[in-house]
A and B are shown apart, each in its own frame.
Chain A
Amino acid sequence: MRDFMEGALFLGYLVIALFFLRFWRRSLDRLFAYFALAFAILAASRLALTLMHLPDEAQLLIRTLRLVAFLLILWAIIDKNRRPGRGATSP
């Protein structure tokens, strides 16, 4: 059951990331790029558990990946509110 849910979440996050990628291409709004990357990393974190054999290393990697993903989302919000250009065309 857990494997099923891990797999479902992996795919779910990945598809969400793809949608955000599409929104980024449509709008050129950096926020969507950050969100797409964050969700892709969350997907990767679900994959990591399956791929890695040593549980401790896996836990550390997963934790790091998730941390990066959340920091990306926070950065996206900060970036959106930083200056008058408001995260328009991406660099």
Chain B
Amino acid sequence: MTAALVPLLGALTCLACAVLLLRGYARSRARLLLWSGLCFAALSLNNLLLGIHLDTVFFPDTPDLRIAIDAVALVGVALLLYGLIWDVRE
């Protein structure tokens, strides 16, 4: 069970970031906030899935979905990188 604690903390942290950034996007329509909000949402999901995967008490015998779990993080990272490269007005 304790193996899942860090990813779950990560999931909550990233969810908080996602909510704040997407709220900021709703207010300002600044696209960087959209991409970063989506990235943190993906990272939150990634951490949540990782936590579930690592948790052997409540979710024993989950198949090895680590590639799919990493893919979620990779999608988030790709979105943020796209936004950082193309959509930052300074």
Chain A positions within 8 Å of B, measured between CB atoms, are 1-2, 5-6, 8-9, 12-13, 15-16, 19, 26, 59, 63, 66-67, 69-70, 73-74, 77
Contact = CB atoms under 8 A, between A and B. Distances in A.
Contact of A66 (B10, B16, B84): B10
B80 interface: yes
Contact of B90 (A9, A26, A73): A26
Interface SS of chain B: helix, strand, loop or mixed? helix
Contact of A67 (B9, B14, B73, B77): B9
Contacts of A6: 70
8 contacts: A2-B66, A8-B77, A16-B81, A16-B84, A67-B6, A70-B10, A70-B14, A73-B13
Given A19-B84, A74-B13, A5 B6 contact: no
Nearest to A68: B6
A74 B70 CA distance: 22
Contact of A70 (B13, B20, B66, B81): B13
B78 interface: yes
Contacts of A2: 66-67, 70
A5 B71 contact: yes
Contacts of B13: 70, 73-74
Nearest to B8: A70
B84 A12 contact: no
